[in-house]
Amino acid sequence: AQSVTQLDSHVSVSEGTPVLLRCNYSSSYSPSLFWYVQHPNKGLQLLLKYTSAATLVKGINGFEAEFKKSETSFHLTKPSAHMSDAAEYFCVVTRPNTGKLIFGQGTTLQVKP
Amino acid sequence: GAGVSQTPSNKVTEKGKYVELRCDPISGHTALYWYRQSLGQGPEFLIYFQGTGAADDSGLPNDRFFAVRPEGSVSTLKIQRTERGDSAVYLCASRGKGGSTDTQYFGPGTRLTVL
């Protein structure tokens, strides 16, 4: 079975400082992992995905994530937070045959001026 | 081009009533998914269509929930005898032909409130 655990329900950073959102996964298959972002009253948007190619994945808006098999982690980072980054972030693993997405509980990112 | 659209955006109903939620996927996308997002939670899978057939309906919580996709495009999620616990945002996503790891594109959701 596959699952993801987002280690922080809420992260608060100051504008211009680094962002780290933590995610651990569990998968009996070689996993495909995603990060999605959800801004208030807007739809889910894909930030980036890992599908067994390069372990360091670059996404939109300056975000990146590193797949670490030894640590079963897929943490999301950004060097410098922007006010517009304030949103809910979901770490996601996919079931390989159907592609159904299994979401973590989400991390709320707050960016303070 | 047009993204995934869902109607209505909001639906308020009374306990025991029947509701239908509609999803229009991206044109040409053969895979369609329904998810449900309760307040403060991540979305949870309900059902997956490949073409016209439900390939995986393991996430439907009980037999009050049913979904169809008769022509392999638009899908309708149907909920009978609604309960207050059905209140949530219902999300639809579609995926192209790139395989199971291809990107799923989400609609804005339908917020269902059962009074």
Residue ranges covered by each domain of chain B: 5-98
CA atoms within 13 A of residue A107's CA, in its CB half-sphere:
27
Give the C-alpha separation, B89 to A52, whole Å: 32
Indicate whether B101 pLDDT > 80. Answer: no
pLDDT computed for residue B1 by the predictor:
57
Q: Is the peptide bond before B8 cis (omega within 30 degrees of 0)?
A: yes
Fold of B5-98: Immunoglobulin-like (2.60.40)
Which residue of chain B has the CA closest to A100?
Answer: B45
Which region holds residue A16: left if phi is over 0, alpha if psi is between -120 and 50, else beta? left
Least CB–CB distance from B42: residue in A46, A90, A96: A90
Mean pLDDT along residues A48-76:
93
Residue B104 and residue A106: Cβ atoms within 8 Å?
Answer: no
Cβ pair B91:A102 closer than 8 A:
no
Are residues A9 and A108 in contact, defined by beta-carbon separation less than 8 angstroms?
A: yes
Q: Mean pLDDT lowest for which of A41-50, B25-34, B87-96?
A: A41-50
DSSP string, B73-103: S-EEEEESS--GGG-EEEEEEEE-SS-TTSP
DSSP B107: -
Chain B residues inside the 8 Å CB shell of A44: 43, 91, 93, 106
Instruction: Pick the more confident residue, B107 or A31.
Output: B107
Give CA B62 to chain center in angstroms: 15
Taking all residues of chain B, what is their mean pLDDT, rounded to a whole number? 94
**Contacts A103 to B, Cβ<8 Å:** 35, 42-44
Residues of A in Cβ contact (< 8 Å) with B108:
42-43
Question: How many whole angstroms separate alpha carbon B7 and alpha carbon A109?
Answer: 29
Is the Cβ–Cβ distance between A56 and A64 less than 8 Å?
A: yes
Assess B106–A contact: CB distance below 8 Å, yes or no.
yes
More confident residue, A1 or A104: A104
Of A43, A49, A102, the CB nearest to B106: A43
**Considering CB atoms only, which of B45, B55, B106 is closest to A44?**
B106
| Average pLDDT score over residue span A12-29 | 94
Q: How confident is the model at residue B99 (pLDDT cuts 50, 70, 90)?
A: confident
How much is the pLDDT for B38? 95
pLDDT category at B65 given cuts 50, 70, 90 is very high
**Top-tier CATH class for A3-80+90-102:** mainly beta
Is B45 in CB contact (< 8 Å) with chain A?
A: yes
Q: Name every chain A residue with its beta carbon within 8 A of the beta carbon of B59.
A: 100
pLDDT band of B32, cuts 50, 70, 90: very high
